[in-house]
Amino acid sequence: MRTYLVTGGCGFIGSNFIHHLFNTYGEDIRVVNIDALTYAGNPENLKDIETRPGYRFVKADICDKDAVRKVFSEEDVDVVVHFAAESHVDRSILHPELFVKTNVLGTANMLNCAKEAWQLEEGPDPLGNFREGKRFLHVSTDEVYGSLPEDGGFFYETTPYAPHSPYSASKASSDFLVKAYMDTYHFPANITNCSNNYGPYQFPEKLIPLMINNALKGEKLPVYGDGKNVRDWLYVEDHCRAIDLVINKAKLYETYNVGGHNEKQNIEIVKTIIDVLREELPDSDPRKAGLSYDLITYVEDRKGHDRRYAIAPDKIHKDLGWLPETAFKEGIRKTVQWYFDHQDWMDHITSGNYMNYYKDMYGNRKEI
Ligand code: NAD
Ligand code: TYD
C-alpha cells in the first residue's frame, strides 16, 4: 500500500487532490495530511473522508521540524505532495515576510525531513542514494516566470524565472531549493508549475469564487485596473489528474508546466460568471433580478500587476499524454453549481473574519 504525505490538504487544490486520490485508488492507499489550518485551511473540505480508515490528519506547521520529523518516523511515506503555502498575491503585498517563512523555510524543512527519512547510508551514487520508489512532488506556479507581453509568447519549462510579487518570488525560491536538492543530492523530486486553478472548495479571496459570491449577494464586482490582464485558467480536477500522472509516470528530476490555451481577460471571466449565473438560476429566485453587468466596478489596480500568463503544455502532453479536458464555460458551470449546492460552506467562510479581511482588502480600494 502506497502512503502519500500531502501538505496543505485542507486548502483548495490539496483537498481536491485528496478527493481525487481516494476516488481513484480507494482502499489501496493511505493519505496523511499535514495542515496548519491557517485562514485558508478548512477541515470542512474533507468532511466526507475524515473518518476513512486510510486517512490521517495532523495539525502542524510545515516549518515545525519536530512535528514533521515525527510524522516521517511514524509513517513509511512513499510520496510527498507538497501544496502547503501562502497562496494569495494580494496578501503577499501586505505581508511578504509570512510568505518567505511558509513558502521558503517551510519547503526547506519538508525537503530536509524527507531527505533524512529516505536517505540510504551507502549505494552506487556518489551524490546521494535514496530508498526505491520515493518521490517528492513540489506544486508550484506559472507566476515564477513573470509576465508575458499581451501580443504573444508562452511559458515553457525553459523560460527563465522572473517573479515580480512577493508571492511569486517566494514560490520561485522554493522551486530553486527543490532544484538544488535534486542537483546536489540527487534527491528524488519533480516540480510542477501550473496556471490559475478554479473549481470547488476555492476560498473566496480569489477571482472566480469572489465574483460568484458577490454576484449572488448583489454586491459590487471589483475588477482591478482595466480588467484586461490575462490568466490561463485550469479546472482543478484537470490539475489533479496531471499531478497524479507526474507521480506515476514522470521521470524523476523533470519539471512540468500544467495548463494551457485557456487564456481569458479578467473582464471576460466576470461577464461569463454573470451570464452563467443568470442561465442557471430559476426565474423565481430573487437573486436573479439584480444580476447584471452593472455590478462590475473598476477599482485601482494591484501593485505590480502581471499583465499576462500563458502556458504551453507541450512537454506534459508529449511525455505523459496529458491535456486539460474541461472547457472553460463548462468548468464555470460546474463551479457555479458546486457553490449553489454548498451555500453552507460559503456562509461559514464568509462570516466573521472573512468580512474584516474583505473590508481591509477591498473597502479601501478606490473606484476608477
Ligand atoms: P490555499 O491557500 O487554498 O491552501 C493552502 C493550504 O496550506 C491551506 O490548507 C493552509 O492551511 C495550508 N498552510 C498554509 N501555511 C501552512 C503551514 N505553514 N503549514 C502547514 N499548512 C499550511 O492554496 P491552493 O490554492 O490550494 O494552492 C496550493 C498550492 O498550489 C500552493 O503551493 C500554490 O502556490 C500552488 N498554486 C496554486 C494555484 C491556484 O490557482 N490556486 C496556481 C498555481 C499554483
Ligand atoms: P487571483 O485569483 O488573485 O489570482 P492571481 O493573482 O494569482 O493570478 O486573481 C486573478 C486575476 O484577477 C488577477 O489578474 C487579479 C484579478 N482580480 C480582480 O480583478 N479582482 C479581484 O477582486 C481579484 C481577487 C482578482
pLDDT at 325 (0 to 100): 96
pLDDT at 22 (0 to 100): 98
Q: Tell me the three cell numbers of residue 278.
A: 443568470
Q: Quick count: other Cβ atoms within 10 Å of Cβ 56?
A: 17
Residue 220's φ and ψ, nearest 5 degrees, are -60, 150
pLDDT at 86 (0 to 100): 98
CB of 197 closer than 6 A to ligand 1? yes
Q: Considering only CA atoms, which of 35, 38, 36, 39 is closest in space to residue 14?
A: 35
Can you tell me whether residue 68 is helix, strand or coil?
helix
Q: Which ligand is closest in space to the CA of residue 91? A: 2
CB of 84 closer than 6 A to ligand 1? yes
8 in a domain, yes or no? yes
Can you tell me whether residue 257 is helix, strand or coil?
strand
pLDDT at 365 (0 to 100): 78
- Ligand 2 neighbours by CB, cut-off 6 Å: 89, 196, 206-207, 210, 222-224, 229, 231, 266, 302
Instruction: Give CA–CA dist 283/295, Å, rounded.
Output: 19
Q: Which ligand is closest in space to the CA of residue 298? A: 2
CB of 204 closer than 6 A to ligand 1? no
pLDDT at 292 (0 to 100): 96
55 in a domain, yes or no? yes
Nearest-atom index, ligand 1, CA of 10: 9
Residue 347: burial class (beta carbons within 10 Å; 0-12, 13-18, 19+): exposed
Handedness of CA 156, 158, 163, 169 (dihedral sign): positive
Q: Tell me the three cell numbers of residue 74.
A: 511514524
The percent of residues above 70 in pLDDT, for the chain, comes to 100
285 in a domain, yes or no? no
Angle at the Cα of 154 from the Cα atoms of 148 and 155, rounded to 5 degrees: 90
Name which residue sits closest to atom 17 of ligand 2, judged by CA: 207
356 in a domain, yes or no? no
Across the range 134-146, mean pLDDT stands at 98
Across the range 133-140, mean pLDDT stands at 98
Strands 255-258 and 296-299: unpaired
User: Which residue is it, cell 480588467?
Assistant: 227
pLDDT at 362 (0 to 100): 72
Question: Residues with catalytic annotation?
Answer: 142-143, 167
CB of 62 closer than 6 A to ligand 1? yes
What's the number of domains the chain is made of?
Answer: 1
Instruction: Give CA–CA dist 80/113, Å, rounded.
Output: 11
**What does the pLDDT look like over 287-323, one tens digit per residue?**
999 999 999 999 999 999 999 999 999 999 999 999 9
Find the domain containing 251 and state its range.
2-200+234-260+308-326
User: Does pLDDT of 353 surpass 80?
Assistant: no
Q: Which ligand is closest in space to the CA of residue 305? A: 2
First to last CA, the chain: 57
Q: Tell me the three cell numbers of residue 281.
A: 438560476
pLDDT at 357 (0 to 100): 73
Name which residue sits closest to atom 23 of ligand 2, judged by CA: 207
User: Does pLDDT of 9 surpass 80?
Assistant: yes
Contact present, 255 and 192 (Cβ < 8 Å): yes
pLDDT at 359 (0 to 100): 75
Nearest-atom index, ligand 1, CA of 167: 34
CATH code for position 158? 3.40.50.720
| pLDDT category of residue 3 using cuts at 50, 70 and 90 | very high
346 in a domain, yes or no? no
**What does the pLDDT look like over 226-272, one tens digit per residue?**
999 999 999 999 999 999 999 999 999 999 999 988 999 999 999 99
pLDDT at 317 (0 to 100): 98
Instruction: Give CA–CA dist 195/235, Å, rounded.
Output: 10
Q: Measure 32 CA to ligand 2 centroid, in angstroms.
A: 31
**What does the pLDDT look like over 27-85, one tens digit per residue?**
999 999 999 999 999 999 999 999 999 999 999 999 999 999 999 999 999 999 999 99
| pLDDT category of residue 356 using cuts at 50, 70 and 90 | confident
pLDDT at 39 (0 to 100): 93
pLDDT at 366 (0 to 100): 83
pTM (two decimals): 0.97
For a pocket test of ligand 2, which of 206, 223, 295, 306 has the largest count of ligand atoms closer than 8 A to its C-beta? 206
User: Does pLDDT of 360 surpass 90?
Assistant: no
Name which residue sits closest to atom 12 of ligand 1, judged by CA: 8
pLDDT at 40 (0 to 100): 95
pLDDT at 364 (0 to 100): 72
Q: Quick count: other Cβ atoms within 10 Å of Cβ 277?
A: 22
Across the range 210-219, mean pLDDT stands at 96
CB of 16 closer than 6 A to ligand 1? no
Q: Tell me the three cell numbers of residue 187.
A: 534527491
293 in a domain, yes or no? no
308 beta partners: 230
Q: Measure 159 CA to ligand 1 centroid, in angstroms.
A: 24
pLDDT at 282 (0 to 100): 94
User: Does pLDDT of 138 surpass 90?
Assistant: yes
**CA dihedral of residues 166, 114, 315, 199 (deg, nearest 10):** -60
- 69 HSE (CA, 13 A, CB side): 6
CB of 332 closer than 6 A to ligand 1? no
Name which residue sits closest to atom 42 of ligand 1, judged by CA: 196
pLDDT at 350 (0 to 100): 86
Q: Which amino acid is at 70?
A: K
343 in a domain, yes or no? no
pLDDT at 278 (0 to 100): 97
Average confidence score pLDDT of the chain: 96
Cα–Cα distance list, 41 to 11, 61, 151, 352 (Å): 5, 12, 37, 15
